Amino acid sequence: MGRREREAVARAARLYEAARSLADDHDRAVEAARAALQPIQDATVEQALDAIPVARLQDATGGRLRLGSVDKSGLHTVRQVLDAGPYRLRQVPGVGQRTADQIVAAARQLSAAVHETAAVHIDVDHPEPRTTALVQALHVLVEAGPEARRAVDTAAALSKRLGPLLADARPAAGRLSMLVAGQAKKARALEAVEEIRTLVAEAEQAGTPEALAQASVDLLRGTSADLAAWVDFELRSAEYYGLLAEISGRAPDPAAAEGFLPDGIAERVRDQQLDDSRLRVSLRGYQAFGARFALAQRRVILGDEMGLGKTVQAMAALTHLAAAGQSRFMVVCPASVLVNWTREIEARTSLHVTPLHGPDRHDAFAYWKGRGGVAVTTFDALRGFPVPGGGEIGMLVVDEAHAVKNPRTLRSQAVAQWAGHCERVLFMTGTPMENRVAEFRNLVRLLDETVAERIGDQAGVPGSVAFRRAVAPVYLRRNQVDVLAELPALQQTDEWEEPSAADEEAYREAVWSGNFMAMRRAAYARPEKSAKLVRLREIVHEAGENGLKVVVFSNFRDVLGVVRDALDTGPRTGGPVVGPLTGSVPPERRQGLVDAFTAVSGPAVLLAQIQAAGVGLNLQAASVVIICEPQIKPTVEQQAVARAHRMGQVRPVRVHRLLAPGGVDEQMVEMLRRKARLFDRYARRSAVAEATPDAVDVSDTEMARQIVAAEQSRLGCGSGPTGDADSSEGVDGRTSPA
């Protein structure tokens, strides 16, 4: 045994000790967070048990218990029963030893269920010592970042490999040890030294000793001041809650996190490796699964509900492919979110990003072709670029892919050409099917013709379970309620406002002219007497008094102008008014308006055209949403609300839909309910199999005509002119076919 071997063993011992030390440092940081969480978790469970009436214990015993006397004795809730215990229960008339034991056992069963499901919500507006301690403890782990997490994983793998090798190599530590060791031990010691030398050389070349040391330093910094921790929590709450889910052991149901995929596909996805070394953020479990799904299945639709982080899942897939040697990627998205995509890639990955937009886009395209990285362009701009050769693009990502559901449009044809030349394609949309199953099939056809044929016009006959099984090879969807237990409450209120005489007059004029769009915005045609405006100002005033930010959505630019005038002329308790953000605002300026709204300290109001701001932009700063009129598609409202009620939101979100009874609003609300049922049946998981698909959904144009005709009949206006019944205002503010 020479000096070279002893030095190799000594270096390995130091590396092993560094790995063990990092593991200990991480364990201490996690235990500190768990200790801070425990009293909050206990209080949450106690509060939940206090809200469960004692009668619910019947459910746990199949209705065998008689609990009337227990309730009359003053034990009204499950928590009170647990606090009382069997001795106190035996004092209740008619309750013997056996019954008391059964009651306590049932209460404990319910308590265990609550412990499994109760989620801790951190109230950012009302910090108190316990939640402050938890946020500070989590802050240590969040600040250490994904690099520390990767270092901890590396440390665990090193410890597992080096521990046995160092034990086997122990005789080689000295000449005497080698002399007294048997022949077999000597041979094994020399083999272990060689393995150690290779392992240590690889670790040193990868910079592992420095990474372990830096991670330990980051984890040992100690807690920050409470104010700094709270500010960081509000900015990065999604990362805090992700850690909280891991620490508390309350990860989402595995089947839900995997989108209830068939076992064979789910197993293949789990086996897919994911290299996140070029990603600068940590992934939640369901997000890592989504990235693996895109990689394993190659050509897919990621249909997660709004707010679950589809963008970061796409970036995780791109960074994995980049680490494996792929050099060029293309992202296609609406112009309104091009800036957001560019920022996200720059901030969350180490990939180079090139926006291909504006007059210099062809020069930028040539630069990207030579430089590599991620190109981000719009649907319209994509048509002007040459279609790539096979294998040239590592992955094509199409955001808001429902925009290409109509194969006759030029944008759909351009995407189809590119998709046909790319081995890996990722479509992203929370609304893959707005009106009918045929539109979803059109998207699937761009990815996999065989799967598309399986979901023909009669695919829904067996019910939604069969539909989901048919599309499972290309389609993954998870819903917020299944995987984001920490989301604050979403409260939706339909505000039915009795029209004023002026509102009625404007509405009757619109009906008489047969102008569907004028009917929809008639409630704002006489601003000085508008009942909806009165209520809107009340909501904004109340939000301002509570320091909350408000986003006001309308389909119509002129309605937003009326709202702005109304807010500007009234008391400014709602804070500054930002916008309006409309389709005519250049895409690069839209994110700037959102940033200005977010940066306001205190209350503020953002005015936004619903189709311009309801796609791609993040509005977590808003906790109050006002929708000025019903929308033609249910998904338009869902998307808009999801811009505020999404991962990262730390406050409850209240949604107010301003509606007028007896007219177009009421008819649209009923038609929207019928449309929403189709989406829920096929695009979401459903335990109820339907006998037949809802294949008779009317088009937007036909819906407008039906409503106009019905209202003309109700108000005795005769047939009247047809006006604009078959048109709607697009996000650019012009009137365009629906």
C-alpha distances in Å from residue 310, one per residue of 69, 286, 298, 622, 660: 53, 11, 16, 21, 36
CA distances from 269 to 290, 322, 671 (A): 9, 19, 39
68 versus 290: which is more confidently predicted? 290
Distance, CA of 219 to CA of 149 (rounded, Å) = 10
Cα–Cα distance for residue pair 689/686, rounded to 1 Å: 7
| Tens digits of residue pLDDT in 549-607 | 899 999 999 999 999 999 987 655 678 999 899 888 887 788 889 889 888 888 999 99
The more confident residue out of 570 and 405 is 405
Arithmetic mean of pLDDT over the chain: 83
Task: Give the pLDDT score at 16.
Answer: 94
CB 623 within 8 A of CB 546: no
In-domain check, residue 452? yes
- Mean pLDDT over 733-738 rounds to 34
Which of 309-323, 497-511, 632-646 is predicted with the least confidence, judged by mean pLDDT? Answer: 632-646
Cβ 374 vs Cβ 331: under 8 Å: yes
pLDDT band at 308 (very low <50, low <70, confident <90, very high): confident
| Residues 463, 587 share a domain | no
Q: Which domain holds residue 723?
A: 490-661+698-737
Residue 600 lies in a domain: yes
Instruction: Give pLDDT, residue 714.
Output: 87
* Mean predicted confidence (pLDDT) in 255-283: 92
Mean pLDDT, rounded, for 419-441 = 81
Using H for helix, E for strand and C for coil, what is the string for 568-595?
A: HHCCHHHCCEEEEECCCCCHHHHHHHHH
Residue 71 lies in a domain: yes
Q: Is the pTM for the entire model greater than 0.75?
A: no
| 513 and 657 within one domain | yes
Q: Work out whether strand 549-554 and strand 373-378 pair parallel, antiparallel, or are unpaired.
A: unpaired
Mean pLDDT of 288-295: 96
Domains in the chain: how many in total?
3
Task: Please report whether residue 440 resides in a domain.
Answer: yes
Q: Quick check: 684 pLDDT over 50?
A: no
SS3 content of the chain, % helix, strand, coil (to 5): 60, 10, 30
**pLDDT of 315 over the 60 cut:** yes
Residues 479 and 604 reside in one and the same domain:
no
pLDDT band, residue 647 (cuts 50/70/90)? low
Q: Do 477 and 499 reside in the same domain of the chain?
A: no
pLDDT for position 117 = 73
CA distances to 146, 255, 327, 373, 539 from 368, rounded to whole Å, are: 28, 40, 10, 7, 48
Q: Is it true that the peptide bond before 209 is cis, omega within 30 degrees of 0? A: no
578: which strand partners? 606
| pLDDT reading at 20 higher than 90 | yes
pLDDT of residue 462: 38
Angle made by CA atoms 444, 389, 296, in degrees to the nearest 5: 45
Is the domain of 275 the same as that of 395? yes
Q: Is 603 helix (H, G, I), strand (E, B) or coil?
A: coil
Please report which confidence band the pLDDT of residue 21 belongs to, taking 50, 70 and 90 as the band edges.
very high
pLDDT score recorded for residue 692 = 30
CATH of the domain at 441: 3.40.50.10810
First CA to last CA across the chain, in angstroms?
A: 83
β-pair partners for 279: 349
Q: What is the dihedral of CA 436, 438, 440, 446, to 10 degrees?
A: -160
Model confidence at 61, pLDDT cuts 50, 70, 90, reads low
* Interior/surface letters 79-88, b for 16+ CB within 10 angstroms, e for the rest: bbbbebebeb
At 435, the pLDDT band (50, 70, 90 cuts) reads very low
Domain end point (choices 483, 515, 538): 483
Question: What's the pLDDT at 434?
Answer: 43
The residue from 458, 483, 508 where one domain ends is: 483
Average pLDDT over residues 378-391: 92
Q: What is the mean pLDDT of residues 544-553?
A: 86
Domain end point (choices 216, 238, 269): 216
* CATH code assigned at 599: 3.40.50.300
What tens digit of pLDDT does each residue of 454-478 get? 876 545 543 466 777 888 999 998 8
**Is there a single domain that holds both residue 262 and residue 411?**
yes
Q: Identify the weakest region by mean pLDDT among 297-311, 365-379, 564-578.
A: 564-578
What pLDDT is attached to residue 733?
A: 39
Whether residue 682 has pLDDT greater than 60:
no
How far is 25 from 21, CA to CA, in rounded Å?
A: 6
Q: Among the listed ranges 179-188, 391-400, 558-567, which one has the minimum average pLDDT value?
A: 179-188
Distance of alpha carbon 724 from alpha carbon 516, whole angstroms: 6
Concatenate the DSSP letters of all residues of 29-58 into one string: HHHHHHHHHHHHHHHHHHHHHHTSBGGGHH
Query: Distance of alpha carbon 229 from its chain centroid, rounded?
Result: 23
pLDDT for position 223: 76
3-state secondary structure of 25: helix
Task: For residue range 696-719, list pLDDT tens digits in order.
Answer: 334 577 778 888 998 888 888 755
* Neighbour-count burial for 647-686, b at 16+ CB within 10 Å, e otherwise: bbbbbbbbbbbbbbeebbbebbeebbeebeebbebbbebe
Q: Which range is least confidently modeled, 54-58, 294-298, 625-629?
A: 54-58
Residues 503 and 461 in one domain: no
Whats the size of the chain, residue-wise?
A: 738
Q: Is residue 289 part of a domain?
A: yes
Query: Same domain for 154 and 60?
Result: yes
Tens-digit pLDDT profile for residues 70-124: 888 888 898 998 998 988 898 888 888 888 888 888 888 888 888 877 778 888 7
Q: Which residue has the tokens 């009340």?
A: 538
The proportion of the chain whose per-residue pLDDT surpasses 70, expressed as a percent, equals 84
**Contact indicator for 375, 396 with CB cutoff of 8 Å:** no
Are residues 313 and 196 part of one domain? no
pLDDT of 179 higher than 70: no
Higher-confidence residue of 515 and 172: namely 515
Who contacts 125 (Cβ-Cβ below 8 Å, separation ≥6)?
A: 547, 651
